[in-house]
Chain A
C-alpha cells in the first residue's frame, strides 16, 4: 500500500472518537426542543432548521462531537450523515473541543496590511501557543480567521463567534485577555461612520456604551 494511504497528508477528523457526553447530559431541555420545533416549522422542509439546531447545540455543549450531531439529527428527524456533512462544512461549528474563549484573529488582506499578523504573533507570544492550539489551562484558543467583514476597523478579532474587538493594539490585547480571564466578555462595539462624525458629532446609536470611531490603521511589521 502506498505510503500516503496509510499516512494521509491531510489530518482527517477522527470519525469515531470516545464519546464525551452521554446519558442525561446528552439531551435537549423542553424549551430547547420547543425552539427547534419552531425553527422546523418556519421552513418548507425540516432540514432548513439544521443550522439553527447545530448552533443551539454548540452553545449548549461547547462543541459538536458525533454524539451531539446525532442528537441534533434525531431531534430534527434527518439522517446523521447529512447532519454531519453540514456540521463539518462550516468553519464556525467546532468539531473538536476548544478553549473557553476562541480568539479568531482576522488576517485577511485589509487586516494583513494594517497589522493583523502583528496582532496574531503578539497574541501567540503572550499566550505561549501557536494558532490552532489551546492553552494548557483550557482557557484560550487562537485561530487565524478569514475576512470577518470589519475591514475599516482593522486589525480586529472576534471572541468565540460573538463580539468583535476593533482597532487592536498590544495594549488592547492585554486588557482583553485580562478581562476574559476574569470572565468578562467584551461589550458590543458600534463603529462610528466617518460621515456621522462630521454630521452628527459622533455615533448615531445612543443605546450602546462603547463607541470607538474609525481611526488610522497601524503600520504592519509582518505580513505573514
Chain B
C-alpha cells in the first residue's frame, strides 16, 4: 500500500544528518561540507537573533528525538528572560540507554561536529554560556572521540570565548556517565551532573525555571540538537516539508532483531513500517514471518504483525494504532519468538534499572519480574495475568518520573496483545471459567 506512505519518494532521499561523505567526523572534512556555516551565519549576520533562531526552530516543527517527542522550538522558548546575574545551562542528552536504541552513538561517531554545532546554535538561541554534553559511561570510545573533536573545535575558535569574533561565548563540557538507565530522564541527568545520585526530581518546577544547580536549563537529545544546523542552513520550511506533516524531518531509524540488514538508517518520518522491514532492512531473516515489533525502544507498546498494515512511523499514526514513536529504535521479532521469555527480559531490565527512589517502582518492577518469571517457567496461574495488570495500574503515574510507566506499559500491552501465549504457559489450575480444563 505504497500510497499511504507519508515519506514521499523516500528512495530518492538524500541523507542530511549523516550525509555520505568519507571521514566526515574530521573537522577539516566537515568544514568543506558547509561545516559551522550555520553557526557563522547565526552569529555574524543581522538576519538572526536569539528570537528568530527559536522561531525558525518552531517553524520547522521538529519534535524531540529522545522519546517524548516534545516540540524542540517550544521547549527553547520556555527559558525565562535573560538576567545577566543568573547563569543558564544547556544539556545535551547523550545517555541513550533505552533498549533497542542505538542511533545517537552512531551520530556522534560519524558526524560529531554537527552535534557540537547544534549545541552552539541552541546555546546562542537561549543566551547560554555553558553547555554540557552528557554521554553514558559505556560509550568510552565515543567519549574519547568526542573529546578529541571538541578540542579541535576549541583550537579553531568554534567553541570558547568570543566565537568567530561575534562576542558570543560558550563553553562545552563533556560529562561521562557511569551506567544508569535513569540518567536519560532529564531531571536525573541534572542530578547526575551535579554529582549526586541520579534520583529524578519532582516536576514542576521544570528545568527551564529551576534546572541544573537551580538555574534555568534546557535539555535536548543529541539528534534533536543535530537538526538545528540543518534547519538554520535550509530553513524551517524545508525541514517541515520532509516526511509526515505533523511530525516532520529526517529521522534515524535503528532497526534491530530478526532482519537481514539491521542497522541505523536515515529516512524521513512517516515511512511505512512494512517498507522499513522488507525493503530498507532487507526483509525478515531466513524468510520467516513477522510476529511483532516494537516501534521505538523497550517501553513503547508492542505491535502485532496484523496491526502494522499501512501503518507509518510518525507520532500520530502510531498513537492511533496504540503505540508510540519513542526513540524510533525498532525491534523486529519473527514468528519463532518466545514473547513470554522476551517480556521476562524486559521486566528484568526495569527491575535492575529502577533507581529505588519511589516505592511503587522499586517494588513494582521487582514483582513484575518475579511474576513474569513464574509464568515463563510454567509455574504461573491464570490469575497472575490479572495480578500483573493490576500491578501495572498501581505503578502507572504514581512515581516521580516515568520509569514506572515505562516498565508497566510493555507488560500491559504485551499481555493485552498476546494473551493467548501467556495463558498457554500458565498452569491450568484455578481456572476462572470452564472449558479450558479440557486442555489440561
Contacts and interface: CB of A to CB of B under 8 A. Distances in A.
Contact of A48 (B110, B180, B195, B355): B195
Quick one: which of B87, B266, B341 has the most chain A CB within 10 A? B341
B367 to A, nearest CB: 14
A200 B338 CA distance: 38
B254 interface: yes
B139 interface: yes
Interface stretch (A21-29, A119-127, A204-212): A204-212
A222 to B, nearest CB: 9
Interface in B228-280: 254-266
B197 A109 contact: no
A113 B21 contact: no
Contact of B178 (A92, A149, A194, A195): A92
Contacts of A43: 173, 193, 195
Contact of A114 (B180, B257, B264, B346): B257
Contact of B99 (A151, A204, A207): A151
A98 B21 CA distance: 42
Interface stretch (B22-30, B66-74, B152-160): B22-30
Nearest to A113: B257
B20 A204 contact: yes
A217 B257 contact: yes
Interface in A169-207: 188, 190-191, 193-196, 199-200, 204-207
Interface size class of B (residues with CB under 8 A): 35 or more
A147 B298 CA distance: 10
Contacts of A161: 137-138, 140
Nearest to B173: A42
A200 B110 CA distance: 13
B368 interface: no
B141 A147 contact: no
B196 A82 contact: yes
Quick one: which of A78, A147, A200 has the most chain B CB within 10 A? A147
Nearest to A42: B173
A74 to B, nearest CB: 15
B194 A206 contact: no
Interface in B8-38: 15, 18, 20-26
Interface stretch (B54-62, B202-210, B329-337): B329-337
A187 B239 CA distance: 38
B141 A50 contact: no
Contacts of B106: 191, 193
A61 B173 CA distance: 25
B262 A113 contact: no
B20 A223 contact: no
Given A45-B213, A52-B176, A146-B181, A204 B254 contact: no
Contacts of A158: 138
Interface stretch (A12-20, A83-91, A128-136): A83-91
A55 B179 CA distance: 12
A90 B213 CA distance: 21
Contacts of B102: 149-152
A206 B141 contact: no
Contacts of A112: 341-342, 345
Given A45-B213, A50-B195, A110-B331, A152 B256 contact: yes
B196 A47 contact: yes
Interface string B162-182: 000000000101011111110
Given A147-B98, A149-B136, A89 B197 contact: yes
A43 B176 CA distance: 13
Contact of B100 (A110, A188, A193): A110
Contacts of A190: 109
Interface string B79-111: 000000001000000001111111001100110
A141 interface: no
25 contacts: A45-B194, A46-B195, A47-B196, A48-B195, A89-B355, A90-B179, A91-B178, A110-B257, A113-B258, A146-B353, A147-B97, A147-B349, A149-B97, A149-B105, A150-B102, A151-B331, A163-B141, A190-B109, A193-B263, A194-B264, A194-B281, A195-B18, A195-B266, A214-B262, A217-B285
Which 3 pairs of residues, A with B, have the shortest CB-CB distance?
A: A47-B195, A90-B178, A92-B179
Interface of B: 15, 18, 20-26, 87, 96-102, 105-106, 109-110, 130, 136-141, 171, 173, 175-181, 192-198, 213, 215, 254-266, 281, 285-286, 298, 329, 331, 333, 337-338, 341-342, 344-346, 349, 352-353, 355, 376
